[in-house]
Chains A and B, each alone.
Chain A
Amino acid sequence: MHPLLQTRRHFFKKSATGIGIAALSSLLNGEDQKEVHPKLPGLPHFAAKAKNVILLFQHGAPSQLDLFDWKPGLQARRGENLPDSIRRGQRLTGMSAFQESFPTAPTVFKFAQHGQSRAWFSELVPHMAKQADDLCFIKSLNTEAINHDPAVTFCQTGFQLAGRPSFGAWVSYGLGSENQNLPAYVVMVSQGGGNTQALADRAFGSGFLPTKYSGVKFRGGADPVLYLSDPDGYSRDARRRYLDDLAKLNEIQLENYQDPEIATRISQYEMAFRMQSSVPELSDLSKEPESTFELYGPDARKPGSYAANCILARRLVERGVRFVQLFHRGWDQHSNLPKEIRGQCKETDQPSAALVEDLKQRATLLHSLGVDHSKLTFKFQGRHYRLTDVKGHVVKPLLS
């Protein structure tokens, strides 16, 4: 598994893209490392080296040609028809089939090299450019899918049709949670100013795995997790007392029926209660020092913004959440690209770079999840499915 996901967008191909920073970090110092997830039969146990993943998914397919993929040769060929040597008979869609010509459109943005790696960055991403030496680009990733929905499904589940578990669901299934008070797989969605594409639940769904491995959506606003807040007029003390009585009644039932599901339910209510405190505590950025907001930029104070979600991502992994996934919408640029992409970059460049910087300051970046893929399987429809049931090559230098 490669922690950095970046897909390449081909000419006239539309694919939702994970450009991204995924930081794998060991940030659990001082956290309770006790295993709470009941060990799955037949699965290896990985509690010793707890790791986390943050995946920043730029939803709608950012144009890599305007961000990181410098194509100097294109500049001289502006307006030229796309040569057959590039198109190679690629199929046309309903969207392009009637187009009379396929003119080449090089980027209008300035590119420069940065850091010791001399990686290319466009002027749209000045903050990312400063992290040049802590980023790794994989420019070979691509999907067969030419439309948003199947392409996102492919990026998130390894298969372009619905039905398979998402990346985070697999990790959640395989590694469980390290925190008794928070879910193992957290998803946050922010809205960009650009043209948006739909985001289906399946992008963070559990597919054929049990639904409890689905991503839990954290949302900006009063109820960061669905149904988290107690009803108005009901205090925490009252809820505590309520749960005590509920537990007593459920215990009578447990004694009578001996069904372990009852014991599980009692403990799930306790976790729910803890989430009711831990999630608001986590979402409350008011205790973050001023320097955090300087680092992540002006949007960071707006709940639900990409910048605020980046801070939350760091706070989540600090608390041992296995897999944190951000989706930022609004990257579906067509003819309006020169204008819209500026806005999208403004929303994401500084916070993304800040997250890398922040994690660097706080922990060592590690590069392995330590998962034995051949053993992390789930049998469905007679097949042993794996997280890594995806065509392609593992970029080993990246993992070592």
Chain B
Amino acid sequence: MIRALLTFHLFAAFLSAARPVEFNRDVRPILSDKCLACHGADAKNKNIPLRLDVEAQAKADLGGRRAIVAGSPETSELIQRINTDSKARKMPPVFTGHSLTDAERKILTQWVAEGAKWQKHWSFITPERPALPVVSNPRWARNEIDHFILERLDREQLKPSAEATKDRLIRRVTLDLTGLPPTPKEVDEFIADKSPDAYGKVVNRLLANPRFGERMAMRWLDNARYADSNGYQYDGERIMWRWRDYVIESFNKNKPFDQFVVEQIAGDLIPNATVEQKMGTGFQRNHRANTELGIVAEEYNVEYVIDRVETNSAVFLGLTFGCARCHNHKYDPLTQKEMYQFYAYFNNVPEQGRAMKYGNSPPMISTPTREQQAQLTHLVHSINQTRSAIKVNAAQMKAWQASIPSDSIDYWHPSLDLKRKLSLENPDETRANGGRVEFVPGRIGKAVALNGTAYLDAGFNAANFDMEDRFTIALWAQSKKTPDGTLFSRMNDKPRGRGFALEARAGYIHVHFTSDYDDDAIRMTSKLPVLKPELWQHITLAYTGSRMAEGVHVYVDGKPIEFKVDLDNLYRPLNNGGKEFPEPLRIGSGGGPDRRFAGNIDEILIWSMTLPQDDIALLAQGQTLKQSDPQSRQIREAYLEAAAPQAQKQLWAKFIQLEQQREAFERSFPTVMIMAENPQRRDTHILIRGEYNKPGEKVEPGLPSFLPPMPPNTPNDRLGLAQWLVARDNPLTARVNINRVWQLLFGTGLVKTTEDFGSQGEYPSHPELLDWLATEFMDSKWDLKHMVRLIVTSAAYRQDSRTTPELLQKDPENRLLAHGPRLRLPAESIRDQALAAAGLLNEKLGGPSVKPYQPAGLWEEQSMQNMDYKQDHGADLYRRSLYMYWKRTIAPPMMTNFDASTRESCTVRESRTNTPLQALNLMNDVTFLEAGRQIGRRMLTEGGATDESRISYGTKLLLAREPSAKELAILKSSLNYHRDYFATNPGRIDTYLSKGESPQAPQLKASEQAAYMALASLMLNLDETVTKD
């Protein structure tokens, strides 16, 4: 394998130099990769007596034979068995497909001969700050990092490269820290700045640039498998961009990384958690979620928790805990039981296995943006001002109440968002259906008397609400017998109908919210028969639009009623498909002819908001204004509404209008799915063979025994887990995370296997450097910007990136860093750079995801219900790539062409390939053609008067340098070729220039523009353009 070759390449020097064999560096990788699949932690389950992952067992006497006899290769069974020619005895057995190389056999033999010294796995030992090594040329070192790099180069008898030229350096560091190229001005200023800390100033400027947070977030989104859709079958939209923006902001304000980690895992459990802290736990909810009807919800509950286990163990610990889902880990000392103990920390979320088909699934919170928060504060201020400006003259008010005629039936109701007071007798509002109805004296004025066959039809406009709307419907009802039948509904008038209804059944109240009766509905029954015969009772249904039973409230005579929830499974709109609901509001009917109500109904009121309980209690008093207490709220409000002096009435109207505005505004706030804990901890069991329906032994939350215990006074919950991760003695978190920062800057981590620091992972190329960085990270109070600054200001980073055939031969992946990094840019930067150079880039920070250009039909040909991609226009076409709408099952093609992770699951390793599809993408995608057109325009309008100066300006925009004479000659020749081409083909100019929606430049000569556009396209396709060197 690639890794194995490299390992030997890297460590060849150790062996040739006859250094003693070191277990962790030399022996463990062999045992792990070739032996532990059988002789590891899972050996017992395979009835294999020998274990090679535990020293005592590897050296134990197994019936007269010992695998390893320290100092005696001749009597060590292991050594005999790896060297035998007997097929029956040979280890590893042929059937495994594994075999040992001569070098590996030599190492094992030498190790046993030297005493078979065992070591705990390196990454499980808490890092200690190493001393700086002695190096050949201390003056080369700019900071501590360089001592470690140089010491290694010294050992390999290699020399570091010279520092890169200033133009290379500023381009490299700007792309690395912001994902964007430096502007020509920034390049010129840096070159002109001869001060010794010129480079340091650039770095500080970049670290302070908000683009830095975006750059760091790009990879964090991969780690967190962030997307704008749910994944799986339907792959509908979810709204998590507030979490994404929180990540950007956290990096920008340089939130201490330990604090950031705690928020990602357990922000909700921090005492008095802020919205921001809670929002952090969106990390745990970014996994795919299945909304398909035909799933077993419990199965997916398990998958979500497993996904969290895999993601958290990979991102924070660099371990593959998911491997122990079905059995003990085959390589690392993690038992299956310990896996499920870790799992238990993430298994107490009040979530449902089947996610919401549209939008976010609970638990979630409203997360207004800063702008919205400011607007809200402003609005609340206006509301308070208006309210305190309302002064009521008590004497006038008293006189007004006294003037109300004693036979008046006027009474108070909350005017806030009252949608309708239904008139029962006005045929324009309600008409009888299914027979005649009568009007009789009611609770307040006249009531409609229903005979059990006829009902009132209030039309399609009344109570036109769906599952995400807030509403309240209140009425008075009375029946001779125990009330039975539907009181009101917007539902098919047949059994098991679709829609919502409030129904009486022998005095019990049933509430339905039904999209599909069997499995897509909320259904609740009152615990007690609360409706009585003969009595006038006030009944209110108040719904919060939460799509959950917990958002459905029913009051009888102003008191909340307790319910038993029969089904809490509402996922699709009541009228799935989003059309106008085809059923009217029916009074006394719904659910079919058998469910008609016989009795009297009075005073139906409908609000498009969820009325609070105190309003409902007042309503249920059913007192007319004449009867009400003169000091009461209802008198004051009715007076202000109806009889106060004009100025007061206007203020009151304004107050009501502002309150409604606030309500609507608050409802427009984006939400984020977050973590929360069930009040009653959900049990966790070991799942036999990892299967959701095969629970085994019950387990409690706990940590693997091979890692340090919880710090003292830490709660044994997610918060404790998070604090344990960032505790000083945790051997992994700092190493794993700084290793990924290294990977981001150098392309490969010091541990190449960024996803696996376990025994199958690669031994670090520079173990002491990794420990130095990890301890520095912790000692700096997890100051990420400090760490990035240290790395990019090191001499190692600042080296020229040119290599030589000899160096390529010796170190093809540049792991030893005898030269600077030279790597193809990440997908996001390739596009962002083109937009920036074109002057098109919209630098807006954060906000909902956008849909830039994408070839037509991609979504339609693969998605359910032919979901189509509605491309945005205008400035949204030019947002940074990390704001691109990410549909998990059909990702943006340009991103996947350039190796972006799919966001289906957690990705921590960066990948770079080099394919013809990338070439086609850069040559022919409208994004890059349009960028070419605009770069061409800039060359013509900003690049001076000659072809030479214009071409130079173009290379300055994209490469941060002037072209060499040879390059200039080729570029000029290409320009002239295209001039001729368009001169010969004038009919093609306009079509060629038509690419993209950004404005054309009619003032420029079209043929010149086309020639420059072609040249710019060529420049965008240069290897150097898509590479940081």
Residues of A in contact with B (beta carbons under 8 Å apart): 14, 40-42, 91-99, 146-150, 161-163, 183, 189, 191, 196-202, 205, 210-212, 214, 216, 219, 221, 223, 225-235, 238-239, 241-242, 245-246, 248-250, 252-254, 256-262, 264-266, 268-269, 271-272, 275-276, 374-375, 377, 379-384
A256 neighbours in B (Cβ, 8 Å): 802
List residues of B (79-124) whose CB comes within 8 Å of A's CBs: 96-97
Cβ of B923 and Cβ of A230 under 8 Å apart? yes
Nearest neighbor of A304 in chain B, beta-carbon distance: B861
Inter-chain pairs besides A148-B233, A161-B303, A233-B990, 4 sampled, C-beta below 8 Å: A191-B861, A201-B862, A201-B889, A246-B1021
Interface string of B906-937 (1 = CB under 8 A from A): 00000101111111110111000100000000
- Distance (Å) between the CB of B827 and the closest chain A CB? 10
Contact A268/B919 with A197-B233, A230-B924 known, Cβ cut-off 8 Å:
yes
Cβ of B756 and Cβ of A382 under 8 Å apart? yes
| 9 pairs of A and B residues whose beta carbons are closest in the complex | A382-B760, A374-B97, A233-B992, A233-B988, A98-B518, A200-B889, A95-B294, A162-B904, A272-B919
Cβ of A260 and Cβ of B861 under 8 Å apart? no
B905: interface (CB < 8 Å): yes
Cβ of B916 and Cβ of A227 under 8 Å apart? no
A212 neighbours in B (Cβ, 8 Å): 913-915
B354 neighbours in A (Cβ, 8 Å): 94
Cβ of A201 and Cβ of B233 under 8 Å apart? no
B964: interface (CB < 8 Å): yes
Contact A95/B890 with A233-B988, A252-B967 known, Cβ cut-off 8 Å:
no
Interface centre among B861, B923, B981, B989 (most CB of A within 10 A): B923
Contact A202/B913 with A41-B1, A241-B974, A242-B1018 known, Cβ cut-off 8 Å:
no
Interface string of B329-340 (1 = CB under 8 A from A): 011100000000
Cβ of A97 and Cβ of B519 under 8 Å apart? yes
- Distance (Å) between the CB of A32 and the closest chain B CB? 17
Cβ of B234 and Cβ of A257 under 8 Å apart? no
B985 neighbours in A (Cβ, 8 Å): 233, 235
Cβ of B294 and Cβ of A41 under 8 Å apart? no
Interface centre among B517, B803, B917 (most CB of A within 10 A): B917
B643 neighbours in A (Cβ, 8 Å): none
- Interface of A: prevailing SS: loop
Q: A211 to B909, alpha carbons, bound, how many Å?
A: 13
B25: interface (CB < 8 Å): no
Interface centre among A93, A95, A231, A272 (most CB of B within 10 A): A231
B42: interface (CB < 8 Å): no
Contact A275/B920 with A41-B5, A197-B233 known, Cβ cut-off 8 Å:
yes
List residues of B (968-1013) whose CB comes within 8 Å of A's CBs: 970-971, 973-974, 977-978, 981, 985, 988-992, 994-995, 1010
Cβ of A94 and Cβ of B1018 under 8 Å apart? no
Cβ of B978 and Cβ of A219 under 8 Å apart? no
- Distance (Å) between the CB of B134 and the closest chain A CB? 31
> Can you report 24 A-B residue pairs in the complex whose CB atoms are below 8 A from each other?
A41-B1, A42-B2, A42-B4, A97-B518, A98-B519, A149-B232, A198-B233, A198-B235, A198-B863, A200-B862, A210-B899, A211-B896, A221-B857, A227-B921, A249-B971, A257-B801, A259-B803, A261-B822, A261-B1027, A265-B919, A268-B915, A269-B916, A272-B916, A382-B753
Partner of A147, one of B294, B890, B904, B914: B294
Residues of B in contact with A (beta carbons under 8 Å apart): 1-5, 32-33, 96-97, 231-235, 288, 290, 292-297, 303, 314, 320, 323, 330-332, 354, 517-519, 569, 693, 753, 755-756, 758-761, 801-805, 808, 822, 824, 855, 857, 861-864, 866, 888-891, 893, 896-897, 899, 902, 904-905, 911, 913-921, 923-925, 929, 964, 966-967, 970-971, 973-974, 977-978, 981, 985, 988-992, 994-995, 1010, 1014, 1017-1018, 1021-1024, 1027, 1029
Nearest neighbor of B1024 in chain A, beta-carbon distance: A253
Cβ of A249 and Cβ of B518 under 8 Å apart? no
Cβ of B802 and Cβ of A252 under 8 Å apart? no
Cβ of A232 and Cβ of B992 under 8 Å apart? yes
B231 neighbours in A (Cβ, 8 Å): 162, 200
B320 neighbours in A (Cβ, 8 Å): 381-383
Nearest neighbor of B1010 in chain A, beta-carbon distance: A233
Q: A161 to B303, alpha carbons, bound, how many Å?
A: 9
Q: A177 to B33, alpha carbons, bound, how many Å?
A: 30
A375 neighbours in B (Cβ, 8 Å): 97
Cβ of B992 and Cβ of A258 under 8 Å apart? no
Q: A259 to B1024, alpha carbons, bound, how many Å?
A: 11
Cβ of B896 and Cβ of A257 under 8 Å apart? no
Nearest neighbor of B862 in chain A, beta-carbon distance: A199
Nearest neighbor of A191 in chain B, beta-carbon distance: B861
Q: A253 to B1027, alpha carbons, bound, how many Å?
A: 11
Q: A248 to B966, alpha carbons, bound, how many Å?
A: 10
Cβ of A225 and Cβ of B756 under 8 Å apart? no
- Distance (Å) between the CB of B570 and the closest chain A CB? 12
Cβ of B992 and Cβ of A234 under 8 Å apart? yes
B755 neighbours in A (Cβ, 8 Å): 380-381
Q: A225 to B1024, alpha carbons, bound, how many Å?
A: 26
- Distance (Å) between the CB of A160 and the closest chain B CB? 9
B981 neighbours in A (Cβ, 8 Å): 235, 238
A249 neighbours in B (Cβ, 8 Å): 967, 970-971, 1018, 1022
- Distance (Å) between the CB of A337 and the closest chain B CB? 16
Cβ of B919 and Cβ of A146 under 8 Å apart? no
Q: A150 to B899, alpha carbons, bound, how many Å?
A: 24
- Distance (Å) between the CB of B251 and the closest chain A CB? 26
Contact A246/B924 with A91-B296, A146-B296, A200-B889 known, Cβ cut-off 8 Å:
no
Q: A345 to B172, alpha carbons, bound, how many Å?
A: 57
Partner of B569, one of A94, A228, A230: A94
Q: A259 to B802, alpha carbons, bound, how many Å?
A: 7
Q: A256 to B753, alpha carbons, bound, how many Å?
A: 31
Nearest neighbor of A264 in chain B, beta-carbon distance: B914
Cβ of A258 and Cβ of B803 under 8 Å apart? yes
Partner of A227, one of B896, B913, B917: B917
Partner of B808, one of A14, A148, A260, A380: A260
Nearest neighbor of B757 in chain A, beta-carbon distance: A382
A40 neighbours in B (Cβ, 8 Å): 2
Nearest neighbor of A14 in chain B, beta-carbon distance: B294
Cβ of B864 and Cβ of A196 under 8 Å apart? yes
Q: A272 to B918, alpha carbons, bound, how many Å?
A: 9
Nearest neighbor of B919 in chain A, beta-carbon distance: A272
Cβ of B974 and Cβ of A245 under 8 Å apart? yes
Cβ of A163 and Cβ of B756 under 8 Å apart? no
Q: A262 to B991, alpha carbons, bound, how many Å?
A: 32
Cβ of B914 and Cβ of A261 under 8 Å apart? yes
- Distance (Å) between the CB of A188 and the closest chain B CB? 10
- Distance (Å) between the CB of B867 and the closest chain A CB? 9
Interface centre among A214, A265, A374 (most CB of B within 10 A): A265
Cβ of A149 and Cβ of B923 under 8 Å apart? no
- Distance (Å) between the CB of B757 and the closest chain A CB? 10
Contact A242/B1014 with A147-B294, A257-B822 known, Cβ cut-off 8 Å:
yes
B913 neighbours in A (Cβ, 8 Å): 210-212
Q: A95 to B314, alpha carbons, bound, how many Å?
A: 35
Nearest neighbor of B915 in chain A, beta-carbon distance: A212
Q: A93 to B175, alpha carbons, bound, how many Å?
A: 50
- Distance (Å) between the CB of A53 and the closest chain B CB? 21
B332 neighbours in A (Cβ, 8 Å): 382
Q: A330 to B128, alpha carbons, bound, how many Å?
A: 61
Q: A226 to B893, alpha carbons, bound, how many Å?
A: 8
Cβ of A253 and Cβ of B288 under 8 Å apart? no
- Distance (Å) between the CB of B963 and the closest chain A CB? 9
Cβ of B862 and Cβ of A202 under 8 Å apart? no
Nearest neighbor of B496 in chain A, beta-carbon distance: A98
B1024 neighbours in A (Cβ, 8 Å): 250, 253
Cβ of B519 and Cβ of A94 under 8 Å apart? yes
A380 neighbours in B (Cβ, 8 Å): 755
A232 neighbours in B (Cβ, 8 Å): 988, 991-992, 994
B331 neighbours in A (Cβ, 8 Å): 382
Q: A249 to B971, alpha carbons, bound, how many Å?
A: 8
Cβ of B296 and Cβ of A163 under 8 Å apart? no
